[in-house]
Structure 1
Amino acid sequence: MNGGRALVPRLRRLMSGYRAPYEVAAAEPPQLLTAALVRNLAEGVGGEVAYAVPSGRTHVVVESWPPDVSSVVDAVGVARVDGGGSVFVMAPSRWDDEARAMLRDTAVWLGTAVRLERLRADRDAADLRARRLRAEFGTARTRLARVRDLERQRLVGAITTTTLRDLAGVRTLLRAVAEEGTGLEAAQEALDELIDDFRSVVRGVFPAMLPDRGARAALEELAATLPRPVGFTGDLGPRVGWQLESGFYHAVASALNLLAGREHAQAVTVALGRDDALLARVTAAGPLTADDLFTALGHDIERVAVLGGEMTCGVVDGSAVVTVRLAERTEPVTVTRFDPAVVARSAIYRQVRDLVREGQTATEGLPERAAWDAVAERLTMPPRLAVVGPDPEFAAQGVAAQTVAAQAVAARGVAAQTVAAETVAARGVAVLVVDAPADRVPAEEFLADDGPLSGVDAVLVSAMAAHGPAIAARRAVAAMTELVRALPGDHRLRWAVERVGVDAHEFAELDLLQDLERGDLLRGVVSSAARLLGADGVDPRSRLGLPEGATTDEIRSRARDEVTRWRAHAEHPASGGRDRVACEVLVRTAEGLFTP
């Protein structure tokens, strides 16, 4: 009798289609495990199940069954997932002790699935990093060999030139002394010059002042021997290792020898600075062009690059400018990456990530694989946004900020009106707050790939931070558009990348948000449109302006109202063509909030 009672729960589970979570884990691939566990629990309790993560005042559904679940407000059961978030049960046909046990078991295995996904993401990132470092190591080794040859040639040339020129002159003078008994003083002066020249060569190889008093003192000693006056400002801060100081000294010394090697009434200026690197900016008025600078300092530029630094040359307002930057540490800095639980909410991010992985597979063993690996690695990193003007929202959030040191800014030569930058981390993006007038023009300088302010992925308002995964996906699509051109003409990736770039509604929302920021669209209803596009949050309640406790029926009702509103706005006689296109985007967004 007791055995028959024990069979009842098992039979009930079999009839409902429920399987033990470990059976699901054994049968499903890791990337599909979360969805499979959620569906398995939904079938077991005969209701709706959602795995959701907290986002501000509400929860964002990551996986659900049925797929159209958008709210967990009416949940009758909830269990916390150790990896982050919770699993919710709504409207079950059965809710007894056995169903609660199913919920607890599923939550445990969901925690395992989330941790596995994070470990998998970490493994993929480590693999990409290893590939990139191997490539960089090979490149650095080749460049180092090149720099060694160049340095050897430079030293041999300096010593040989000095020896052949000066010794030949001394030999002639000494012969005259021996044969004619005259010219002893001239021979002595020539010998003194020869000794001074050798001292200069030795000083160039190993300046005596450098190990004792540091790079600035050694540079000042060198400047005292040059025919053109040199002025120093700034400071390099505490001493660093010999290799860094030596590399920094030789780079700046080469610039000084070039720019101050001839007499000139106007002094050369050397501005020194320090943040996480040794910084120098050498400025000199004169006739040299940028090509002249690159030709003369090409070897030094290569040498600094091998040391992990950067040496740049140019002409600004008629003056030659050479900047040297050598980081205190050459080992890679830890990079902030997306949390898999965050990006799992974005369908477009997952779609683009799969395309990138397909591109990696298609180019396995080929030289093009490195470029696909770079796209994959950058896809895991939060995008950087430039926010122009005062940003009270981030100030209100109390986000910690690190201000770039004024000396470092001056040493880099960045325009003062576009700096005083603060790097902050918030909501899955790196935000660069620009203390400048509320004008897009200064911030768009950050979009240039080769400019001094480069490295920013979008120029947006701070509310756009919630769209971090979509911005990262769009960045990857732009990179893939170039890479797929190297694939065969009939390769599936060629049209797949083009299609996702054209059809992705998330990208259309980003474009419209930027247009709304300019203020030339939908005048009078900009705030409502921006809210629907996700400026206040990407969850349905935030988009629709509903309270956290709003039910699914309320969400669908408000979404239908938004569809009606924006269709009517598009049909209004006063709406122009661009406004009508914007309304079409808004209608599609609203439809997506209630369409299963």
Structure 2
Amino acid sequence: MPKAQSPHEVAATVPPDRLVVALVRNLAEATGGRVTYRVPVEPTGVLAPIATWPRQAAGPLTGETAREPVAGGGVIQVASPRRWSGREQAMLRETAGWLGMAARLDQLEADRHHAAVRARDLRAEVIAARERSAHVRTLERRRLVRSITTTTLRDLDDVRQGLRRLEGAVTEDPASLASEFAMSELATVRSAMDELLDEFRVVVRGVYPAMLPDRGPGAALEELAATLPRPVRFTGGLGRRVDWQIESGFYHAVAAVLTVLCGSAAAAVPRSAVDVAFSRDDALRARVSAPVGGLSAAELRGALGHDAERLAVLGGSMTSAVIDGVAVVDAAVAERINPSVRDPVPSRSARSDLHDQVLALVRKGQQAVGEGPARRGWDVIAERLTTPARLAVVRDPAHAGPARPVRSGVVLVDVVGPADEALARELLADGGPRGSIDGVLCLVQPTAAFRAALRSAPQRVVLSETASEEELARVLAVRGPVIAARRALVSARELASVLPADDPLLWEIDRITAAGHEIAELDLLDDLEHGDNRLLRGAGWGAVADAARLLGAHGADPRSRLGLPTDTTDDALQEAARRAVCRWRAYAGRPGTGGRDRLACEVLARTAEGMISEARIR
């Protein structure tokens, strides 16, 4: 029998791709027994063998003497050893450690390969984006040259010809300068110069509309529409202002559509109006529709092709169609430019998809109501879902100021007291400069009605009278997606209350609300921090503080929730989570535990169970 080596000697001499089998074989030879290394298989989590020694040993493992967990969720088992002493037990533990290291190396290698593939894809996307950008710049230069050459140069030629005629007449007869012919030529030249200046103004306005940076794309497009030969009607709205490049790209795209539909496309229907419907969710959107007579869909797409390419560079889109003689063009550009990342490497703490589910629900609501006044409420919800959390700071007039962003991505809104019920209603409203508030820091003495209104509202606004702006802003930043989703569900339920009881949208709202464990966590945390102090009173000393920490009061990561050091291993984390599950299940099962406490324990146990599942996946 070959002499067994210590596990670290095996790791130092064997290539990484054969390390697992070598470690298992080395332990089997050291103990004279059968050794199996098993890892959990997704999605069932059943432990499946990936290495066994001796290899010829088949069938289930019998006569198990010892097992040792392996970091990452696996386990190494020893059965029927001929030698089993403290030395072999120490070797088992060391082998398990090196197997965990090998598994970690495999995972890191897989992540590295995945990241390399993603980097290659992103590099290709960057190159393609640069090529598209260069192409769009070329198209834009050509468009500007065409605008100048087809309009201003024609008018400039008229001016030049008029001046030449006048020059010829004066050269032949200087006394004719004051003649009727000369005066007529001067008037013609003056008129041509005025037209030339007007054309230059139109070109400049198209490149850089003065109204755009001051009042946004909606007002700039209305200004443009006033100069077009066809009436234009605007409906809807675009909500809060976004970055300049987004607004500029959106403006130029819609302006191009209006120019086409009010130009040659309007020859057959000169007096019919063009309708522009604005909307906003996670993007600025416009639907432009107008009768176009005999214009075909292919001709319309050809006329807007360059503008569609230009919009695509910003991550937007433009689609067009002609239905029964009516052109319909949809233009959209995302409210922020995000890098396109496809199939990212999974995160160790992947965020819940609750926010995305609610956003999809709101889009269904927008589609259900269609265009019209009823859509405005859904547009407001969609816009609110994609904006940062808002923190109102109620202070005395001497320290008031405008809304301002802070580093954590939360918008601070200064509000002048008094903190009474009327102010609470204003803060809870979905609209207005001081509405849609997610948290309130009250630096003046609030009334009881103010506190009651905020704490009893369906939105469950966070209220603090002692924290600093930075502390409360950090809390809102961490809980922001869940807070936004909860507010959206409340508002969506109000809008959907007019629908029939069997409408699928109502069922969808109920389903998301019932399945939204994050919302249940947030509600329970609010109750523990600001609500009834009788909750979990019978669970023992420190139970309320432990429950609040488990719900994320001191940090959203699992180790902070369980009160563990940052360097705690995944195995220790799972064990702590199991103890938390047992603790809250046991308290819920006591005969004297009330109904509210049982519901709270169910939420806490589910939170801890989720940590166990997440740790197993890692």
What TM-score do you get using the length of structure 2 for normalisation? 0.48
What TM-score do you get using the length of structure 1 for normalisation? 0.50
From the CA coordinates, give the structure whose radius of gyration is larger. 2
Which of the pair has the greater relative contact order for Cα pairs under 8 Å at 6+ separation? 1
